[in-house]
Chains A and B, each alone.
Chain A
Amino acid sequence: MENYFDYTKKLFDPSRVNEKPEVFKGLRVLDFTHVIYGPVAARILGSYGAEVIKFELPWVGDLWRFGVYWGSFWRHSSVCFHFVQYGKYFFSLNLKLPKAKEIIYKLAEKADVVMENFASGTAETWGVGYSQLSKINPSIIYLSCATYGQYGPMRFFPGWDLLAQAASGAISVTGYPGTDKYYKLPDYVGDFLPGNIGALSVIMALNYRKKTGKGQYIDLAQTEALMRIMPHFTYNSITGEELGRTGNTDPTMAPSGIFKSKDGKFVAIAAATDEQFQGICQAMGHPEYINKYKDSFERLKSENSKELYELAGKWVQENTVETLFEQAKRHRFAVAEVEDDYQISTDEWRRERGSVVMVTDEMYHKLLLPGPSAMLSKTPARVKWLARPLGYHNRYILKKMLGYSDDEIKQLEKERVVGYWDDRPGIKPPVYYDMKKDPMFNYKGD
């Protein structure tokens, strides 16, 4: 029989991703979301083949077009915005005007999914809420993303990732016990994770619609999504105490922790199961602990796990990363080096796997982006193009999808129903790029 890894390599081969079929081909998503939480959900559907139309205000644009690290733009754009918005159609339209609503309602007739992440009720006020769009198209799936959800006493509270982390308790659980130092979860994961859960719920609704033909309304609260991943509530209800902060150790596994090795690198180690614990005791040269802490619940008790934590810390300090990995392979316990951004972006195995992909784009040339977390062998996610300047696809959408004539489009531009960028970085194209020659921006028809 063929070697397993040869078989799987052929199955997943990252170089063949673009030849494979797209699951959501033919689905249309109207994306009224902004910043991260929300756009991510739409982008995931897009990466599996859906046609995502992103709406932005003319001359204003998505706030996250300016969300740049330490104030530095990359080719007059934000890299995070590229990551959050790739593969969408950028339509810049002034929602407040009646003509714009006409356009939206026309698009909604043939749309499958609609997403918004304004404060509760705002989309309704603007005439693009579920109550209005489901009248036009009853089988529509409508996802409302909010920090605290669409109903409940806190529904009008505005929120960002930080506030969801604060309200769910996620901020209060990271850090060292007995200090006044708190840390938030990094990289706006409080936006990204709920955004992914939003995509999951829409896919479930699509599955339901495939079975029954019915659309539905989804109310997703960012804070609830974060609460779902915290064991602290259950711990609290069982013990009557706060689990609190546990510093650099995982209280569910002993020993476990992040330590500094002899060669000055940071290494995480953990022994999850009894077998792994026996292995690590052997590796540390302390086989006597195997019998002492035979029972895993005994081993995890606060003072015992502390003893093991200190023992493991000392052992890691006396060894280099290389020996630690050797030992881990021989004795089978979990070990990993703490990888920073540079290591992650240059790791060879991530490129080989397709977890890190060099995207070649007509406008922005080369950008390294992460691949999807879940690799699908037959219908993988892919990056078709990066984010585009504000209003880039206006003419394409009006002409190709809605059948407007050149004169009508000119009239819309004149009335400022649709619009484009001004001179600010983030919403304008890169300086080297000649927009006049761009076939998509100047779409003339097939």
Chain B
Amino acid sequence: MSEKEQILVRYGGTRKEREIFLKSMMSPEGKPEVLDDAVILDASYGNLSGDICSSIYAEFGAEVIKIEPPEGDPSRKFTHYGINRNGTGIPFIMEARNKRFITMDLRKEADREDFKKLVKNAHVVIDTFKPGQMDEWGIGYRQLSEINPSIVYIAISPFGHYGKKAQEMIDIPDSDITAQAASGVAANIGDPVTEGEPYNWPLRAGLWLSWYITGIEAALGGAVARYYTRSTGEGQMVDVATADSYASLVGYPVTIGFTWGKARPRIGRHDFCLYPYGFWKSKDGIVAIAAPRDHDFRALLKVLKLWKIEDDWRFTFDRIPDILPMIEEFYKLIENETVKYTSDELIKMALEYSIKSARSKWRGGGVPIIMKVQNPSDTMKNPHWAVRGSFKEFDEPDMGKFVLPVNFIKMSESPPRVKWVKCNIGQDNDYVRKKYLQ
């Protein structure tokens, strides 16, 4: 048997074997990196979504050169309540993985010449300046594609680099909260009108949803473009607008706006499609419960010993949350039961039922899913993520100890990984100049 075949046989073995094998299969140790031949010039300025995009390439092994003016990128200072390490904020530290930091003042002619020299050996350029700024400096896609026809140029801005709106709004800078507002995140979080102000207002998602989506989408577009370059040698421009990246990702705002001819109201903790699909109080916290399919729902009623209400709420279409008072009543019926148990008890009850129903000869007995609503600190303590290596602690001389979420994609041959996190301004000036500018 060949080694590969042995692996496959073992892989298809018992559960325990499968688990042990998968863990070693997905370990990044000593594996090649897919982008080890790519050089990324990240010229993003005052907009972390560009750094997020280049971070993803850096995790896949690209040489990412972050270009900052001598005083540093202003996005170093975007940080929660001013918490910083050595003048650099938390989001920037999070996105500083595997990168090279050099200082180059693109406002100056001489540095722009150096930038052009770098572009000759580069594969991707990331630009978050206002549309047309790089072009005005002579280093936009128009000029760079002449220097290096296979360059992939990623531009990120609030409204994109083409069209009337982009021109009209050219002076308005980007931020995550305004992008959330413009792309339909905020309008769809919040309580119904019946609740008082400010709870019925649009609400910001408690993380940089728009900037992260933008960064990831830009990385996705850039990866597609890079694949095209590999086949044809041609580069291209990739344009991402933060004001629509969310709406384009999830699709609901556009399709609902079109088919309903009006906007959705905010309905707080309820869901528009599925019920029960939300969170309920337990004795010691909050649990998320999802049992929207009819057989899941019946199973949930059995788990919670609530069979007496089955007759009223039997079908999916009895449980559509379009009449709010009705669905609130239903919410309370479930809550009356969930508060009797602790979160762990509820999870265990649901799992036991699911296992029983899967093993019974009446398969399809329903899978009520219950999970604890965890704080980030609970999540970090969860042994599951320790087994999967999802968090890694770093200890850097300038920054002290900190934890990053890492290894978010597990791949058997060319997995992404975090090798180092160091982000002093201009720390790699010598390295980069020696390697690319001589």
Contact = CB atoms under 8 A, between A and B. Distances in A.
B359 to A, nearest CB: 13
Given A235-B90, A252-B91, A378-B236, A338 B376 contact: no
Contacts of B411: 201, 204-205, 216-219
Interface in B270-299: 271-274, 277-279, 281, 286-288, 290, 293
A336 B34 contact: no
A221 B388 CA distance: 10
B42 interface: no
B70 interface: no
A69 B272 contact: yes
B309 interface: no
A182 B83 contact: no
B34 A231 contact: no
Contacts of B201: 248, 258, 260, 266
Contacts of B224: 23, 48, 203, 374, 376, 379
Given A219-B410, A373-B213, 10 more contacts: A4-B140, A5-B131, A150-B22, A162-B290, A183-B269, A187-B253, A204-B414, A204-B416, A236-B403, A353-B241
A29 interface: no
26 contacts: A5-B163, A124-B12, A153-B384, A157-B369, A166-B279, A175-B206, A181-B269, A186-B185, A189-B213, A197-B409, A205-B411, A208-B32, A211-B37, A219-B22, A227-B405, A229-B216, A238-B85, A272-B175, A296-B77, A328-B171, A334-B174, A348-B164, A353-B241, A370-B248, A375-B238, A375-B239
Given A8-B162, A207-B230, A251-B80, A189 B255 contact: no
B233 to A, nearest CB: 12
Interface stretch (A132-140, A402-410, A436-444): A132-140
Interface pairs A-B: 6 shortest CB-CB: A374-B221, A345-B257, A349-B165, A340-B263, A268-B181, A173-B206
Contacts of B374: 166-169, 172
Contact of A341 (B60, B158, B184, B189): B184
Please classify how large the interface on chain B is, using the bins under 10, 10 to 19, 20 to 34, 35 or more: 35 or more
B220 A235 contact: no
A170 B207 CA distance: 8
B241 A355 contact: yes
Contact of B238 (A24, A233, A352, A376): A376
B8 interface: yes
B186 A375 contact: no
Contacts of A163: 288, 290, 369, 371
A329 B170 CA distance: 8
Given A224-B390, A231-B80, A377-B237, A270 B12 contact: no
Contacts of B241: 353, 355
Nearest to A164: B371
A349 B354 CA distance: 49
